[in-house]
Amino acid sequence: MKLLLSCIILLCNSLLSSCNEHQDQKGLRIALNIMKHQIEEIMEYQAKQEVRIRELEEDKWNRELEHDLWIRELEQNNRNREQEQNNRIRELERDNQILKQEQDNRIRKLEHGIRIKRKQIEDFKNICILRETDEANFKVNDTLTLSKHNMTALETSGENLKLTAKEAIPEKVTKHLNDRRCGKNGIAGRYTDPSNQIAFYAYMDSHETNPGRHQTLIFDVVKTNVRSAYNKHSGLFISPDHGIYVFTWTIVSDLHGYIYSEIMINSAPFGSILTNSEDITDDHTVTGIVVAEVNQGDVVYIRTNPNVSIKGQILSDTFHRTSFSGWKID
């Protein structure tokens, strides 16, 4: 366009030169001057427009550059913030893990302390029961000693009476009494002093719904308790005399359960059983029996195993009883 206007101006200049040579073409000369002037104005305006266009293009380029820089800066800031957030999250997770570990350690220490306290309380209760039982046994022994002295006096008087009455007893009556004292083959039968008899039998009145490990089982319904050596409140049998004893206990586990139990003499396990109904669709009953030499004052009781887990209930009702019994045989 610029080139075309330049050509037109050159043509106008050429025509003006030609008109100057011919004076009769004055009107044409004026028209050409006007056209030249207008074309020059158009070219000047076009030049200004081109300058303005370049300025606008430069401004646009600068703005695009600033926009790109701003976008890159935003992206960099976003990446920095994301990195800071990730670092903060990792720090929080690490702090949370440390706090959780410290809390778990504290909980384990507290649980261990609670177990120790419970054991101390249980030992203290057993000591109190032993003291009460020892006091009761001491009173019983004093009573028995006094009774033995009285029996000795009575026996002495009885011997004198026997010597007096022996001559008056017919021979057949004497023979009958001798036969009563002997066995069928004439072998002398064993005489048992009722004061030396010791026996007990007790069972649980109801189910033990939530038994735990290292738990002393309480058989709270006492049916037999000769010499009152078994305590239904503590579940402990405290031996009144030294001798050979038979102890037996029966544990009933419910459907899909298993119970580890053991008989304790003082603080040492003496026997154990497993009542396991985990793999059968029914209750399960197991009985354990031991024969032990027990000293006077020894404590015998039944507890769950302290080292293995148990599952389910311990059942005891009119159809099957969880029980504990024992008796002295010598």
Element spanning 207, H or E: none
CA distance 261 to 272: 6
CATH topology of domain 196-330: Jelly Rolls (2.60.120)
Taking a C-beta distance cutoff of 8 angstroms, is the pair 309, 213 a contact? yes
Rounded CA gap, 87 and 293, in Å?
A: 70
Share the mean pLDDT of the chain. Answer: 81
Among residues 243, 248, 312, 307, which one has the least CA distance to residue 284? 312
For 58, 137, 300, 327, the CA distances from 296, given in Å and listed in that order, are 113, 10, 11, 14
Window from 9-23, 32-46, 51-65, 152-166 with minimum mean pLDDT: 152-166
Using the CB atoms, write b or e for 158-187: b if 16+ within 10 Å: eeeeeeeeeeeeeeeeeeeeeeeeeeeeee
Report the number of secondary-structure helices (H) and strands (E) in the chain. 3, 10
pLDDT band at 184; cut points 50, 70, 90: very low
Per-residue pLDDT of 44-93, as tens digits, reads 888 888 899 999 999 999 999 999 999 999 999 999 999 999 999 999 99
Bigger pLDDT: 201 or 147? 201
Positive/negative CA dihedral, 54, 59, 60, 62: positive
Please state, in angstroms and rounded to a whole number, the distance separating the CA atoms of residues 329 and 86: 78
279 vs 194 pLDDT, higher one: 279
> Which is it for the CA torsion 289, 294, 300, 305, positive or negative?
negative
Backbone angles phi, psi at 123, to 5 degrees: -65, -40
Give the single-character DSSP code of 216: B
Q: Where is pLDDT greater, at 180 or 64?
A: 64
Sequence-distant (≥ 6) Cβ neighbours of residue 130 within 8 angstroms: 238, 297, 299
Residue 202's pLDDT band, with cuts at 50, 70 and 90, is: very high
Strand-pair partners of 272:
262
pLDDT band at 179; cut points 50, 70, 90: low
Could you tell me the sign of the dihedral formed by the alpha carbons of 32, 36, 37, 42, in that order? Answer: positive
What pLDDT was estimated at residue 221?
97
Residue 190, both tokens: 């064993």
Residues 6+ apart with CB under 8 A from 329: 243, 244, 245, 246, 291
Two tokens at 208? 């033990």
Measured on CA atoms in the order 175, 179, 184, 188, is the torsion positive or negative? negative
